[in-house]
Amino acid sequence: DARRSKVKSYRFTDGEWKERGLGPIKLLEHKTSKKIRVLMRRDKTLKICANFYVQQESKVAEHAASEKACVFTTVDCSDGDERPELYNMCIKFGSAEKCELFTAAFNDA
């Protein structure tokens, strides 16, 4: 299921892609507000490494270097900052099919 896949996440910081973690990524829908949130926890520590709402202006695009990865810009709250910042993020899947399914689910949300 593309809504719950094991992936590697990266964040573009200081001019380079830095790995944030390896673990399952989930698209979660709030029961009352129906907002969709992306949540990812690291495998061993269960620390949150991606936590953001899917916004209408956020669109996923295929990464130029790999068909198994997708990139997007979002406001990530995973570090617990008082003022969340806008980040470029990359999610790398195990297969191109899972990446396509996630991209479709993300863009439909």
Give residue 4's pLDDT: 67
Give residue 93's pLDDT: 92
Give residue 44's pLDDT: 87
Contact 89, 73 (CB under 8 A): yes
C-alpha 40/C-alpha 91 separation (Å) is 10
- For residue 35, give the nearest of 51, 46, 22, 11 by alpha carbon: 51
Q: Which residues of the chain have pLDDT under 70?
A: 1-4, 80-83
Token duo for residue 17: 């892609």
Give residue 90's pLDDT: 93
Buried b (16+ CB within 10 A) or exposed e, 14-23: eeeeeebbeb
Q: What is the dihedral of CA 76, 81, 86, 91, to 10 degrees?
A: -30
- For the chain, which domains are there? 4-108 (2.30.29.30)
Give residue 6's pLDDT: 85
